[in-house]
């Protein structure tokens, strides 16, 4: 039952609360009906050491004498007080109250001399007193009483710094949605009554003492802030209990009530109160109202500017925060440590190091650099901008390091993939006596996950158990543990940790779903997603994007389309990240027309949207279309980032557009002030290598301003393999053996280079080295989807039920291709140390050929028909490439093959890559 306190006929002190309907997904957005909530104070605090619940009896009312006007208020009662328990804290001072005379309506409140003789300092209490809260809950219905008690307890415990204990009490009281809604209603009324009741009591005492206001609006501002903080605590704690009910609505209602009280009491232009209102509206995601309050202020100080900056930053608008920082400088208002901290965070979110360094210089000049909150923000900013050396330097220079300082630096190392340094710092931190908290442990686990350090991660897991960290409630740490075990391939341990967690976070669900998906356990992944949908956790955009990504990686077209339909039905499906994932899914499945259609229908596009589409064009070999889309993106005033330029360069590389790629590479810094990273140079090396300009590629690698990584040298070695360049290949291969000696790919490439050149002794020495190290190359795997079922094949696989039929079809196709096109097996792609007949057999049963054979067994070998889609985890070999070209010609079918590098569309004897992959 949804009950409001009764209203008197001439209510003048009221607040408008917008409500619509009752129940349903929208929470209070669907339960409220424009009602007037009158707020007043019912009695005073008689005993500040106990929490009293005052029950309203019917048929009693009164008025407050305010000079010439009478102001009615909510029905009052004779108060039967009962001490529920003694609280373990005391409130400053004791408030003596007046009694309400209820014999005659419209009778003024009389006060004895002892009632109003109170010293001013008494009213500067730090918290609402327990009796103030109990008096604010003045209702008679049993449901309201049952609900108001936990509401009051939550407010009290939130004020004394025990919000978690309060949340447990509330959770034990709430069992179903309607009662939850009544609780939220009561919290709104309680806070409003506390706010205005406190101020009315002060004003009455001031009038009776015939003195000037004791604390003006500032005491009220303090109470406003504390009440709103309680509401925000409630938003965070209770919000996860019933996801269909909107705590946010009640918090905003409380804030609007407080704002109305500020205006009614004549403090609308008070600077301190306005600052509190800006802060409140920022936390409630109402930046439009926060900006309006800011614009109406007659006078602003640094707190005003900083509160507005914080609000914009919290709502995901770091650019606006930086703009306000510049405007504040023109207004001759000096920043404080919190202003600097806020804007360092903004620079970190935007990864704009130039602005961050300028603010750092300003910070040094004004002497705020060594404030702990500022120093921590500077370290965080440099870490987020990829300038880890500057972050290290700042961290080392800090005169005092708090736990937050260590956490920020460890998180920075983890973010940059420097897990070894993160773990060393984690150890050093403990040696210096710092005790890690959940944030330290979470960052350390992420560092382990990034470098695959399962041993160190397991040790941290053991530390968690030894120190009594309850994984059942530590959802952030549990999520990091699940992610670690998933990325390390230990799905059993990941499932064990996942099962221990009582309130599983979205991160835990997503990590496990993606883990099963990446391991090919698609049924387990889909079952988990079904369980998530049935749980109380809202399926957000992150989960949807991850699930769509699983289908995209395994090219499950039908399942991907079904997920697309599901996103249309849920609110989180409107997230731009979900729309981007859908476009990416269609592109990875080879459905470029569907991707273009969905991209064009997106109501909003960000830089990721454009980058995904440009990347897809590149993978399909449509380099010129990618360039045109990039130009259109610039015309739409969307600024490209480094990843966008990487996508364009990759598209040029796949299409052999050398001149265009050089132009974009030069514009990378000239137009957008983006310094080329190692990945951008790798694209240029790949492009030059594919074009046979191996000396130019080697020269670029050696002269680049950044230290070339293993990936660039592997790209150059692969180009030497394709073009048979022994001299450069040998030099690069020896370098890779030193830099990345445990990667079998390097040895395979060098072995093939020696074999192609006829250097059999050198080739054998490389193979012996591989055996000595115990290295194994990743097995080639291909798969094809038939009737919503995915079939996987390895090279030489004979485990499929239709193996004999597949072999017969492939033999027949080889015979026909040879007769009509003159095709013969490319022996250079076979093993070199076996007999000629065995070489033919090894080529005949490559995994991609087996997958195509199954598709032909299912669809028949007649001409025409549907496109056949096959996917491989490695680069398609040259022999299979020639075989599929011939197959597309004799069968008049279209074959779409996606390998590790790109898409190959085979049609009428030609490939979209133009034999350039």
DSSP string for 37-101: EE----S--S-TTEEE-PBPPSS---EEEETTEEEE-SPP------EEEE-SS--SS----PPPP
- 674-722: per-residue pLDDT in tens? 788 888 999 999 989 888 899 999 999 999 988 898 989 999 998 998 8
- Where a domain ends, among 588, 604, 620? 604
At 815 the three-state DSSP class reads helix
Question: CA–CA separation, 675 vs 352, rounded Å?
Answer: 12
The answer for 774, left when phi > 0, alpha when psi is -120 to 50, beta otherwise, is left
Does some domain include residue 597? yes
Q: Is the dihedral of CA 377, 381, 387, 390 positive or negative?
A: negative
Quick one: pLDDT at residue 268? 58
- Where a domain ends, among 604, 637, 656? 604
Q: Is the dihedral of CA 363, 364, 366, 369 positive or negative?
A: positive
Phi, psi at residue 264, to the nearest 5°?
Answer: -65, -35
Quick one: pLDDT at residue 902? 83
- Structural domain including 598 reads 539-604
Of 218, 53, 217, the C-alpha closest to 149 is: 53
Does some domain include residue 319? no
The single residue listed with the structure tokens 């590790």 is 900
pTM, two decimals, is 0.61
Question: CA–CA separation, 614 vs 647, rounded Å?
Answer: 6
Does some domain include residue 812? yes
Q: Which two tokens stand for residue 796?
A: 């030489």
The single residue listed with the structure tokens 């009038």 is 207
At 866 the three-state DSSP class reads coil
Quick one: pLDDT at residue 185? 45
Does some domain include residue 858? yes
Around Cβ 373, how many Cβ atoms within 10 Å? 15
The answer for 332, left when phi > 0, alpha when psi is -120 to 50, beta otherwise, is left
Question: CA–CA separation, 138 vs 44, rounded Å?
Answer: 12
Instruction: Look at the chain and count its residues.
Output: 917
Question: CA–CA separation, 749 vs 763, rounded Å?
Answer: 10
Q: What are the strands, taking DSSP E only, across 98-219?
A: none
Note whether 693 and 701 are within 8 A (CB): no
Q: Which two tokens stand for residue 520?
A: 């090919």
Listing DSSP states for 440-494 in one string gives HHHHHHHHHHHHT-HHHHHHHHHHHHHTT--TTT-HHHHHHHHHHHHHTT-HHHH
Quick one: pLDDT at residue 262? 58
Cβ neighbours for 702, distance < 8 A, ≥ 6 positions apart: 708
Question: CA–CA separation, 482 vs 511, rounded Å?
Answer: 7
* CA of residue 751 relative to chain centroid, distance: 44
Q: Distance of CA 483 to CAs 51, 427, 531, 657, Å?
A: 45, 22, 19, 40
Question: CA–CA separation, 254 vs 235, rounded Å?
Answer: 12
Around Cβ 662, how many Cβ atoms within 10 Å? 15
Phi, psi at residue 792, to the nearest 5°?
Answer: -105, 145
According to DSSP, the β-strands at 69-72 and 63-66 are antiparallel
At 616 the three-state DSSP class reads helix
- 340-376: per-residue pLDDT in tens? 999 999 999 988 898 999 999 999 998 898 899 999 9
Q: What does the angle CA 550 – CA 533 – CA 165 come to, to the nearest 5 degrees?
A: 115
According to DSSP, the β-strands at 903-907 and 895-898 are antiparallel
Cβ neighbours for 103, distance < 8 A, ≥ 6 positions apart: none
Note whether 661 and 647 are within 8 A (CB): no
End-to-end CA distance of the chain: 69
Q: Is the dihedral of CA 544, 546, 550, 556 positive or negative?
A: positive
Of 832, 851, 852, the C-alpha closest to 842 is: 832
Phi, psi at residue 910, to the nearest 5°?
Answer: -125, 160
- Where a domain ends, among 549, 581, 604? 604
Quick one: pLDDT at residue 653? 87
Question: CA–CA separation, 427 vs 244, rounded Å?
Answer: 44
Residue 790: its H or E element = strand 789-794
Does some domain include residue 877? yes
Does some domain include residue 811? yes
Of 624, 615, 697, the C-alpha closest to 656 is: 624
pLDDT < 70 positions in the chain: 1-269, 472-473, 823-844, 863-864, 916-917
Exposed e or buried b per residue across 489-507, where buried means at least 16 C-beta atoms within 10 angstroms of its C-beta: ebbebbbebbeebeebbbb
Domain total in the chain = 2
Note whether 227 and 258 are within 8 A (CB): yes
Q: Which two tokens stand for residue 737?
A: 């053996």
Please, which residues bridge with residue 791 across strands?
784
Residue 911: its H or E element = strand 910-911
Exposed e or buried b per residue across 743-780, where buried means at least 16 C-beta atoms within 10 angstroms of its C-beta: bebbbbbbbbbbbbbebeebbeebbeebeeeebeeeeb
Of 259, 255, 257, 226, the C-alpha closest to 156 is: 226
At 785 the three-state DSSP class reads strand
Q: Which two tokens stand for residue 786?
A: 């038939």
Does some domain include residue 725? no
At 710 the three-state DSSP class reads helix
Exposed e or buried b per residue across 42-76, where buried means at least 16 C-beta atoms within 10 angstroms of its C-beta: bbbbeebbbbbbbbbeeeebbbbeeeeeebbbbbb
Phi, psi at residue 595, to the nearest 5°?
Answer: -65, -45
Does some domain include residue 855? yes
Question: CA–CA separation, 202 vs 218, rounded Å?
Answer: 12
Q: What are the strands, taking DSSP E only, across 631-765?
A: none
Q: Is the dihedral of CA 402, 404, 408, 413 positive or negative?
A: positive
Quick one: pLDDT at residue 844? 63
Note whether 872 and 849 are within 8 A (CB): no
Quick one: pLDDT at residue 255? 55
- 207-256: per-residue pLDDT in tens? 444 433 333 344 444 444 444 444 444 444 344 333 333 344 444 555 55
Quick one: pLDDT at residue 845? 80
Phi, psi at residue 36, to the nearest 5°?
Answer: -90, 125
Note whether 666 and 658 are within 8 A (CB): no
At 671 the three-state DSSP class reads coil
At 776 the three-state DSSP class reads coil
Note whether 585 and 619 are within 8 A (CB): no
């Amino acid at each position: 039952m949804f009950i409001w306190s009764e209203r008197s006929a001439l209510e003048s002190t009221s607040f408008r609360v917008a409500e619509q309907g009752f129940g349903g997904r929208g929470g209070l957005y669907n339960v409220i009906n424009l009602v007037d909530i009158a707020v007043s104070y019912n009695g005073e605090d008689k005993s500040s050491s106990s929490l009293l619940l005052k029950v309203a009896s019917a048929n009693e009312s009164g008025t407050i004498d305010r000079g010439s006007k009478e102001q009615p208020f909510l029905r009052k009662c004779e108060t039967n007080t009962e001490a529920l328990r003694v609280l373990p804290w005391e409130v400053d001072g004791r408030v003596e109250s007046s009694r309400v005379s209820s014999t005659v309506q419209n009778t003024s409140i009389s006060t004895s001399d002892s009632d109003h003789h109170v010293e001013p300092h008494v009213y500067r209490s730090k918290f609402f007193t327990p009796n103030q809260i109990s008096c604010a809950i003045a209702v008679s219905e049993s449901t309201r009483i049952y609900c108001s008690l936990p509401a009051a307890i939550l407010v009290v415990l939130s004020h004394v710094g025990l919000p978690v204990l309060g949340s447990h009490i509330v959770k034990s009281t709430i069992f179903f949605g309607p009662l939850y809604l009544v609780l939220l209603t009561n919290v709104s009324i309680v806070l409003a009554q506390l706010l205005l009741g406190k101020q009315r009591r002060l004003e009455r005492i001031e009038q009776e003492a015939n003195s000037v206001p004791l604390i003006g609006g500032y005491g009220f501002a303090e109470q406003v802030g504390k009440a709103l903080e309680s509401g925000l605590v409630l938003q965070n704690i209770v919000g996860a209990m019933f996801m269909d009910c909107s705590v946010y609505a009640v918090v905003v209602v409380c804030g609007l009530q407080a704002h109305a009280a500020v205006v009614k009491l004549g403090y609308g232009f008070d600077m301190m109160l306005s600052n509190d209102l800006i802060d409140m509206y920022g936390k409630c995601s109402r930046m439009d109202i926060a900006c309006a309050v800011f614009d109406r202020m007659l006078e602003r100080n640094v707190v005003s500017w900083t509160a507005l900056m914080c609000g914009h930053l919290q709502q995901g608008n770091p650019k606006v925060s930086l703009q306000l920082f510049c405007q504040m400088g023109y207004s001759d208002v000096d920043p404080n440590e919190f202003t600097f901290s806020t804007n360092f965070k903004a620079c970190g979110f935007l990864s704009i190091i130039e602005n961050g360094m300028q603010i750092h210089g300003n910070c040094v000049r004004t002497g705020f650099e060594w404030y702990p909150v500022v120093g921590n923000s500077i370290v965080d900013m440099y870490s987020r901008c990829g300038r880890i050396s500057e972050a290290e330097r700042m961290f080392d220079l800090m005169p005092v390091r708090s736990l937050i300082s260590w956490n920020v630096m460890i998180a920075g190392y983890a973010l940059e993939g420097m897990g070894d340094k993160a773990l060393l710092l984690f150890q050093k931190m403990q040696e210096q006596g710092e005790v890690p908290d959940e944030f330290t442990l979470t960052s350390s686990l992420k560092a382990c996950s990034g470098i695959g350090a399962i041993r160190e991660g397991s040790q941290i897991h053991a530390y968690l158990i030894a120190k009594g960290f309850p994984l059942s409630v530590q959802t952030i740490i549990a999520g990091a543990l699940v992610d670690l075990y998933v990325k390390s391939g230990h799905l059993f341990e990941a499932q064990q940790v996942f099962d221990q967690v009582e309130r599983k976070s979205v991160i835990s669900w997503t990590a496990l779903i993606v883990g099963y998906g990446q391991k090919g356990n698609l049924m387990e992944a889909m079952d988990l997603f079904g369980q998530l949908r049935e749980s109380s956790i809202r399926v957000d955009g992150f989960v949807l994007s991850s699930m769509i990504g699983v289908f995209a990686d395994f090219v499950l077209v039908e399942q991907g389309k079904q997920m697309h339909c599901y996103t249309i039905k849920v609110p989180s499906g409107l997230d731009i990240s979900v729309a981007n994932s859908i476009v990416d899914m269609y592109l990875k499945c080879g459905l470029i027309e569907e991707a273009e259609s969905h991209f064009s229908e997106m109501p909003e596009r960000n830089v990721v949207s454009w980058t995904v589409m440009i990347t897809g064009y590149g993978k399909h070999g449509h380099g010129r279309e990618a360039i045109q889309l990039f130009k259109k993106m610039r015309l739409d005033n969307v600024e490209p980032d480094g990843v966008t330029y990487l996508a364009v360069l990759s598209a040029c590389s796949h299409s052999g557009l050398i001149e265009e790629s050089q132009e974009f590479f030069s514009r990378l810094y000239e137009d957008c002030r983006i310094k080329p990273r190692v990945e951008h140079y790798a694209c240029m090396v790949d492009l030059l290598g594919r074009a046979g300009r191996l000396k130019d590629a080697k020269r670029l690698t050696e002269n680049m301003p950044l230290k070339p990584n293993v990936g660039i040298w592997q790209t150059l070695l692969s180009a030497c393999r394709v073009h048979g360049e022994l001299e450069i290949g040998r030099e690069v291969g020896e370098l890779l053996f030193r830099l990345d000696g445990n990667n079998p790919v390097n040895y395979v490439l060098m072995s093939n280079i020696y074999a192609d050149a006829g250097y059999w002794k050198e080739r054998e020495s490389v193979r012996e080295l591989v055996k000595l190290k115990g290295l194994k190359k990743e097995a080639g795997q291909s798969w094809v989807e038939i009737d919503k079922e995915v079939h996987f094949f390895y090279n030489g696989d004979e485990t499929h039920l239709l193996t004999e039929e597949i072999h017969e079809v492939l033999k027949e196709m080889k015979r026909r291709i040879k007769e009509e096109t003159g095709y013969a097996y490319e022996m250079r792609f076979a093993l070199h140390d076996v007999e000629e007949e065995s070489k033919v057999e090894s080529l005949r049963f490559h995994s991609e050929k087996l997958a195509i054979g199954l598709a032909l067994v299912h669809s028949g070998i007649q001409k025409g028909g549907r496109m056949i889609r096959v996917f491989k985890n490695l680069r398609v070999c040259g022999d299979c490439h020639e075989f599929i070209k011939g197959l597309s010609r004799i069968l008049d079918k279209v074959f779409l093959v996606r390998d590790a590098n790109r898409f190959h569309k085979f049609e009428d004897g030609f490939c979209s890559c133009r034999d350039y992959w």
